Amino acid sequence: MKLKLFFSLFTLLFININAQDYIFGKIVTEDNAEIPDVTVINIRTDERSTTNRDGHFMISGRVGDELRFVKTGYERTNKKITKENIASPINVTLTRSAILIAEVEIKKGVTGDIKVDSKNLNPSKKVQKLKSDLAVYMSQKSDPGVLAARAGEFVQPVTKGVFSLGKIKNKWDDIDFMSYLQTALGDKFFEDLKIDKSQIQHFILYIFRSGFERKFILKYGYCNDADLNRFKNAVLNRISLYKTP
């Protein structure tokens, strides 16, 4: 009997330690404009997500994880996850990358003086040799070791279709669908089930992760009465398990 009790306590402790939470957030520019299609990467798990059209994102993780935010035209940003980020959404600001302006070569005009023009328009032998040496050097192949990652440096893995970068063609994502359910059902629906207002989104995500089918809802951005009733039935079937310690 004591052995079974010890095993049960150990199992619960292991689940709590390794439990994954969902991290919500919003990404904006320096001008506070929402940025869509930003790739969000959990470096520990290599799970990826993308921001929706309003700059919102959702990704699983836990305290201590490091998230990386990548978007063409913006500086890459990393952020460590703290307890505060689990309890409330995080806000991330991306800085636009500096735009390099092409160098403009200003040539001296012809003066009519043969000595001056020959000096200005004809490069010296040293300059000609330097250009020749540079051309030879640039034509040589680089040693692969030059581009190899240094010790301790994170290297983005190259994969073929293993990770999802989000369904760009979908009109909704889970955050959109969650907001719709809260509006359509109202907070009273969840309060009658003894779900605190602060736990409503967590409970809806629990239903999603329990296998609730929503592929076409997200694809077309539309939830009909039949889908709403399916969700209600899923809630009634799972509410007791959700409240079980």
pLDDT in tens, 22-46: 898 999 999 999 999 999 999 999 9
Question: Across all residues in the chain, what is the average pLDDT?
Answer: 78
Show the CA angle centred on residue 159, arms to residues 157 and 162, nearest 5°: 120
**In the chain, where the domains are located:** 19-93, 174-243
- Classified as helix, coil or strand, 50 is strand
- Classified as helix, coil or strand, 93 is strand
Tell whether domain 19-93 is in CATH 2.60.40.10.
Answer: yes
pLDDT tens figures, 140-160: 665 555 555 555 555 555 444
Is there a contact between 61 and 17 (Cβ–Cβ < 8 Å)? no
Is there a contact between 49 and 40 (Cβ–Cβ < 8 Å)? yes
- pLDDT band with cut points at 50, 70 and 90 for residue 108: low
- Structure-model confidence comparison of residues 67 and 149, the more confident one: 67
- Classified as helix, coil or strand, 201 is helix
- pLDDT band with cut points at 50, 70 and 90 for residue 164: very low
Q: What is the model's pLDDT at position 40?
A: 94
Q: Under 8 Å CB-to-CB from 227, ≥6 apart: which residues?
A: 214, 217
Mean pLDDT score, 80-97: 88
Q: What is the model's pLDDT at position 158?
A: 47
Show the CA angle centred on residue 179, arms to residues 39 and 173, nearest 5°: 35
Q: What is the model's pLDDT at position 149?
A: 55
- Structure-model confidence comparison of residues 131 and 11, the more confident one: 131
Q: What is the model's pLDDT at position 27?
A: 94
Q: What is the model's pLDDT at position 120?
A: 63
DSSP-assigned beta bridge partners for residue 67: 42, 79
What is the C-alpha separation between 134 and 199, in angstroms, rounded? 65
Joined tokens for residue 150: 């240094």
The DSSP bridge pattern shows strands 21-28 and 77-80 to be unpaired
Residue type, 58: M
- pLDDT band with cut points at 50, 70 and 90 for residue 137: low
Q: Which pTM was predicted?
A: 0.38
What is the C-alpha separation between 59 and 42, in angstroms, rounded? 8
Query: Which of 67, 61, 60, 21 minimizes the C-alpha distance to 41?
Result: 67
Is there a contact between 94 and 27 (Cβ–Cβ < 8 Å)? yes
User: Is the pLDDT at 240 greater than 80, yes or no?
Assistant: yes
Q: Please state the φ and ψ torsions of residue 44, each to the nearest 5 degrees.
A: -70, -45
pLDDT tens figures, 191-230: 888 888 888 999 899 999 999 999 999 998 999 999 999 9
